[in-house]
Amino acid sequence: MCGTWSRKKREMFLVQMALDVKKAEILKLDEKARRKEDALKRSQQMIDEDFTRFNNFLEANDDKAHKAMRIAEEKTRARQDKQKMIAYIKTKINHVQSDIAKQKEHGDEAIKYRAFLDRLTPQEFKTRMGEQKRARKANRRKAWIEARVAEQTAQMHQEIRDMEAEVTDGLEQLRRRLPKKKYEEEVESRRDEVEK
């Protein structure tokens, strides 16, 4: 019985030891699992942060791309508008050049006709027309001179009237301030100055 008891005790001891070893292994495995979980959590957090940064980068890149596309479209539109304006201006220039060419052609024809008519026109008619032209020019010059003389004369008469009014006002003020005899002497002396 002693042997069974010690055998049982020994078995219990071995079972207890095996249990303790298993517990220690379980604790080690739990610790290892916890560390792996922490490492996984950190890795997941880093992945999440990287994902967020990458998304932010993509959004910023998209914004830049949209902005660049908008700017490119605006520049393309502006370039097309300028090209349309250039085409319009070139068309206008062509029209103006065409009109100039037509006018030059008409002018050349008019010069030819004038030369032809000058050859056909008798000399006495040309002389008479030249005299009439000179007479009209002289009449216009004479009328202009007369208008200028009339204007100058009117201006001069106005200035004389203004001066007479000033003198009359001055004499009136002088007459009020001075006694009659002194006034007459003063008027006489000023008349002498004016006559000189």
pLDDT, averaged in runs of 10, over the chain (196 residues)? 74 85 90 91 91 90 90 90 90 90 90 84 86 94 94 92 84 70 69 64
DSSP 157: H
- Quick one: pLDDT at residue 196? 58
Q: Cβ(174)–Cβ(186) under 8 Å?
A: yes
- Quick one: pLDDT at residue 145? 93
152's tokens: 């100058």
Q: Cβ(183)–Cβ(175) under 8 Å?
A: yes
Other C-beta atoms closer than 10 Å to the C-beta of 4 total 9
Give the number of residues written for the chain.
196
Please choose, from the candidates 161, 193, 187, the residue with its C-alpha nearest in 3D space to the C-alpha of residue 173: 187
DSSP 178: S
59's tokens: 């959004």
- Quick one: pLDDT at residue 143? 94
Q: What angle do CA 174, 175, 177 make, to 5 degrees?
A: 65
* pTM for this predicted structure: 0.38
85's tokens: 């304006």
165's tokens: 């009014």
- Quick one: pLDDT at residue 180? 66
- Quick one: pLDDT at residue 141? 94
- Quick one: pLDDT at residue 193? 67
- Quick one: pLDDT at residue 183? 62
